[in-house]
Amino acid sequence: MVKKRVWSALFLAALLLLSACGTGSNNGKESTSPANGTNNESAGSTLKPAKLKIVLYGDESNRMKELSKAEFKDLIKKEINADIEFQFLPWTEYGGGKTDLMLSTGEDFATYTDTNYMVKSVAKGLYTDLTPFMDNAAGDMKKSIDDNSFTAFQLDGKQYAVPVGNKPNSGEFYSVLARQDLLEEVGMTGISSLAELEAFYDKVHAKHPELIGYASTDARKMLMYEYTDKNLFWQNDMLAIDEAAKDDKVISWFESEDFKAYAAIMRGWYQKGIIPKYAATNLPQLQSDWNSGKAMFWAGTAARPFEGAASITQAVPTAKLANYFLSKDFPKISRGTYSTAWFVSANAADPERYVMFFNLLQKNQELYDLFAYGIKDKDYTLDENGRLTRNTTDALIPDWLLMNKNFMRFDNTVPDDFIAQYKAWDDDAIISKGAGFNFDNTPVKNEETKINGVFSELLAPIASGFLDYDTYFPKALEKLKAAGFDKYMAEYQKQFSAWYAAKS
């Protein structure tokens, strides 16, 4: 059965407003919790002073600069007696680059992570074990964030990062997020197959040759329904599992026939120009082109038809977006409802105070409104139904990071049925059978380093269509094996099977 799920919404300048409530060693540092062990609602006056540095990625808006030195600063001082500094880094520094440098040189800071980066960093001793602080400092977050999200950032039962956000995440990047306004302009109403997606590009390209097609270089999830009968979910760039199979088998993605079929599609896209030629050397430009309305489609999520709307509507006020799933009807897969998770650097002087700050971001509607959208009646207004109108398009703490469906606000032009669909997006989803598994790479750390080198040099360019599979894959596979991939694969399968058996 072929089933098409379609979500569409006007790209309006402001649609969301969020706010919510919501586990290893404390590095030998004294706990700063109030002596009575109560939550930190009025703990500011009982705590010794602390200094916190929060790293965010992307561009810092002028309004964020103002609030971080005034209302944000004052509120955080009052709530948890901490002086806070917000530092913005380019996205190219996430999960490596300057972030790694700051960790390795012992800086005191916190920022967000994914599970793969967490595992690698914990193995190097770069993250603080936050377990001792979770009950007292993160009590509000635990009320609004599901247990699976906390488990996802645990290693050996220890909490090395604190999840934030509570939003529909199933089918993340498996849908095509298309410019619905462009679809309609060329006489199309929707997309239900790869052939229709490519026809969409051809027709729009003929009318608007200045636009690029796909604003990314990774479409393995988005196109999965076209090149395989498996319901694949990736553990990392190298390995996947089939959610439709009731077993613990880990799939070597690059050695599969599915990858060969996928690489052929991507090669065709690159040669045709659906993926622009500059993508091979200038990936950040793709994101810029999408944000400025110069791209036709992107990989979608439940929220992408409306999150980040301000940037694109500044360039294209009439833009509309819709999510489409191509061809096949597999259950949507969920990894959990978190947006991301915060880690605290190993040398932080007061890691518990960082957890208290994370808790503030998801504590209640009032605080969430402040951090996401600023000052009521100055930066935004609310009507009698709680619908939002923003008076500034400046981003504060990023919307996507804070998103919590219990506290999100929508612009009054967003239909009620759209909001209901969004909140019900996960209703028919399945939790990945690998959710909560985190690989310990210690036994194969050297092999993993070499494998990552082969990935960057050859496998990623093949997967993006920059290099021809038939010409370059034999060499890539030879180098992959020489790097110790078979040993790495065996160790991963061993750990996953043991974890899967224990869970079952």
127: domain CATH number is: 3.40.190.10
Cα distance between residue 416 and residue 302, in whole Å: 16
User: 273 lies in a domain?
Assistant: no
For 109, how many CA atoms within 13 A lie in the half-sphere containing its CB? 22
Query: Is position 73 within any domain?
Result: yes
Determine, yes or no, domain membership for 217. no
Domain boundary among 374, 397, 422: 374
Rounded Cα distance, 238 and 489, in Å: 9
For residue 57, which of 291, 450, 398, 486 has the smallest C-alpha distance? Answer: 398
Burial (CB < 10 A; 0-12, 13-18, 19+), residue 377, is exposed
pLDDT of residue 32: 43
Q: Which residues lie below 8 Å from residue 96, measured CB to CB, with a gap of 6+? A: none
Residue 328 falls inside a structural domain: no
* Structure tokens that stand for 236 in this block: 């990392």
CB within 8 Å of 252: residues ≥ 6 apart? 238, 239, 485, 489
50 and 161 share one domain: yes
**In terms of DSSP bridges, do strands 50-57 and 82-89 run parallel, antiparallel, or are they unpaired?**
parallel
What pLDDT shows up at residue 22? 34
The residue among 382, 396, 472, 429 whose CA lies nearest residue 172 is: 429
Position 305 scores a pLDDT of 83
C-alpha closest to that of 311 among 132, 58, 28, 53: 58
Distances (CA, A) of 471 to 153, 227, 308, 451, 474: 40, 20, 40, 20, 7
Co-location of 72 and 160 in the same domain: yes
> Which helix (H) or strand (E) is 242 found in, with range?
strand 239-242
Residues 6+ away with beta carbon under 8 Å from 449: none
Range of the domain at 131: 44-165+337-374
Predicted pLDDT at 309 = 62
Give the relative orientation of helices 351-361 and 71-80 as an angle to the nearest 10 degrees.
120
Would you give per-residue pLDDT tens digits along the chain (504 residues)?
333 333 333 333 333 333 333 333 344 344 444 333 334 445 566 899 999 999 999 999 999 999 999 999 999 999 999 999 999 999 999 999 999 999 999 999 999 999 889 988 998 999 999 999 999 999 999 988 888 899 989 988 899 999 999 989 899 999 999 999 999 999 999 999 999 999 999 999 999 999 999 999 999 999 999 999 999 999 999 999 999 999 999 999 999 999 999 999 999 999 999 999 999 999 999 999 999 999 999 999 888 887 756 578 788 989 988 899 999 779 999 988 899 999 999 999 999 999 999 999 999 999 999 999 999 999 999 999 899 999 988 989 988 899 898 888 988 777 787 788 888 899 889 999 998 888 888 899 999 999 999 999 999 999 999 999 999 999 999 999 999 999 999 999 999 999 999 987
- Residue 239 lies inside a defined structural domain of this protein: no
Structure tokens at 169: 């995440």
Last residue of a domain, one of 357, 374, 391: 374
**Coil, strand, or helix at residue 85?**
strand
Residues 374, 220: Cα–Cα separation, whole Å: 38
Is 496 contained in some domain? yes
Look at residue 24 in the predicted model and tell me its pLDDT.
35
What are the tokens at 81? 């007696």
pLDDT score for 34: 38
95 in a domain, yes or no? Answer: yes
Task: Please check whether residues 154 and 51 belong to one and the same domain.
Answer: yes
Cα 215 to Cα 229: distance, rounded to the nearest angstrom: 26
- Let me know whether 61 and 153 are in one domain: yes
Asked whether residue 35 is domain-assigned, the answer is no
Single out the residue in 374, 399, 420 at which a domain terminates: 374
Rounded CA separation 87/280 (Å) = 29
Element (H, E) at 291: helix 283-291
Q: What would the two tokens of residue 110 be?
A: 């916190």
Q: In the beta sheet, which residues pair with residue 251?
A: 240
| Residue 215 DSSP code | S
Q: How many domains does the chain have?
A: 2
